[in-house]
Amino acid sequence: MKTIAELYETHDGNVSDKWTSYFAFYERAFSPIRNKPVRLLEVGIQNGGSLEIWGKYFSNAQKLLGCDINPNCRKIVHTDPRISVIIGDIKAPATLQQVFEHSPKFDVIIDDGSHTSSDIIQAFCKLFGNLEHGGLYIIEDLHASYWKQWEGGLNLRTSSMAFLKKLADVINFEHWGLPQSRLEYLKEFGLSPEVTETLLCEINSIEFANSMCMITKRPHAQNQLGKRRITGLTEVVAQARQVDGMTLTTPLQKDVSPALSDATSNQLVQLLNEKLASKDKLIAMLSQQVVDLQQLLEFKPE
């Protein structure tokens, strides 16, 4: 059985475009489900070659569905009967209806679409609910999340990478100790109605690699920290067996805004000093004008 990298190197069908590091990432993620009747959705197929490679890798795949907004993708010819292609915007209700007519649920969803931050976030909102428990949601080419042309930037609060980083906090919701919901925490991203507290409870893990992110989904009960388990008999350093079976109690917390860095603080102080200096100059100029006006009013010609 060839690896994904080997299949890629020997592929002679429709063109596929992937970065080298993706092969090892996909191999590690997909090898446990390689022989299962996988239902896979890929958003953004370009020339369609990746669908053919997934078909070779998942020999028992049930459905391999591609979706692309480019109407030229209709011209792609696939000989694998398991492969289908839908033309349309994945965020549009009509397109989603077609997608879910092919399969109401998917085991693997890959977002290789526009790479624009808002599209990545909204695609997640529209599709994550239709990922099976135990399924994998993978986003490619997240380097675009750092580029302005794709609604990105390292410190941009609404970039797709910023959104994904916040999902890591959502996983740890039970430890926040704050009267704040998950939806409130993510409200700046303009989530669509498909995203609910119940759905966010089903995010099990998030894994980052260079330009990639994988989100796994499991039932809420499997995503809890659970009980503390202690094993062994000898306790030389600390008495731990007494807490066996206990659950973690989260202390109430105060919401603390992120502190300004020293550089940011210095910049702010400098800006305020400059404004004060400008204000002093303006006051001095106005004061002189008042003096001049008074002298003019007191002047009596002979």
Greater pLDDT, 201 or 288: 201
- What's the burial of 137, exposed, middle or buried (CB within 10 Å: 0-12/13-18/19+)? buried
- What's the burial of 60, exposed, middle or buried (CB within 10 Å: 0-12/13-18/19+)? exposed
* Residue 276 clears pLDDT 90, i.e. is over it: no
Given pLDDT bands bounded at 50, 70 and 90, which one contains residue 300?
Answer: low
Residue 226: predicted pLDDT = 96
Given pLDDT bands bounded at 50, 70 and 90, which one contains residue 268?
Answer: low
Q: Please state, for a pLDDT cut of 70, what percent of the chain lies above it.
A: 94
Q: Which helix (H) or strand (E) holds 259?
A: none
Residues 6+ apart with CB under 8 A from 121: 160, 163, 189, 190, 191
What CATH code is assigned to 4-223?
3.40.50.150
Residues 6+ apart with CB under 8 A from 61: 37, 38, 39, 40, 54, 55, 82
pLDDT average, residue stretch 169-180: 96
Residue 121: predicted pLDDT = 98
Distances (CA, A) of 249 to 136, 226, 227, 246, 265: 31, 11, 11, 9, 36
| Cα–Cα distance for residue pair 140/65, rounded to 1 Å | 17
Positive or negative torsion for Cα 203, 204, 208, 209: negative
Given pLDDT bands bounded at 50, 70 and 90, which one contains residue 278?
Answer: confident
Residue 282: predicted pLDDT = 80
CB contact burial 251-276 (16+ within 10 A = b; e otherwise)? eeeeeeeeeeeeeeeeeeeeeeeeee
* Residue 18 clears pLDDT 90, i.e. is over it: yes
Distances (CA, A) of 49 to 11, 19, 79, 84: 8, 14, 12, 13
pLDDT average, residue stretch 131-152: 98
Residue 294: predicted pLDDT = 77
Question: pTM for this structure?
Answer: 0.84
| Cα–Cα distance for residue pair 122/160, rounded to 1 Å | 10
| Cα–Cα distance for residue pair 57/3, rounded to 1 Å | 8
* Alpha-carbon 3 to chain mean position: 27
pLDDT average, residue stretch 223-233: 95
Q: What angle do CA 221, 229, 166 make, to 5 degrees?
A: 45
Residue 298: predicted pLDDT = 74
Residue 265: predicted pLDDT = 59
* Residue 259 clears pLDDT 60, i.e. is over it: no
* Residue 275 clears pLDDT 80, i.e. is over it: no
pLDDT digits (tens, 9 = 90+) for 39-69: 999 999 999 999 999 999 999 999 999 999 9
Residues 6+ apart with CB under 8 A from 198: 220
Residue 17: predicted pLDDT = 96
* Residue 295 clears pLDDT 80, i.e. is over it: no
Residue 116: predicted pLDDT = 98
Q: Which of 155, 127, 151 is nearest to 139 (CA)?
A: 127
Q: Which of 58-62, 95-99, 123-127, 262-266 has the lowest mean pLDDT?
A: 262-266
- Give, as one character, the DSSP assignment of residue 187: G
Give the pair of three-digit tokens for residue 21.
Answer: 């590091």
pLDDT average, residue stretch 170-187: 96
Residue 74: predicted pLDDT = 95
Q: What is the average pLDDT score of the chain?
A: 93
Residue 57: predicted pLDDT = 98
List residues bridging with 247 in a β-sheet: 227
* Residue 270 clears pLDDT 80, i.e. is over it: no
Residues 6+ apart with CB under 8 A from 209: 21, 25
Q: Which of 129-138, 165-174, 245-254, 293-302 has the lowest mean pLDDT?
A: 293-302
For residue 206, report the phi and psi dihedrals to the nearest 5 degrees: -135, 130
| Cα–Cα distance for residue pair 200/188, rounded to 1 Å | 16
Domains in the chain: boundaries: 4-223, 263-302
pLDDT average, residue stretch 65-77: 97
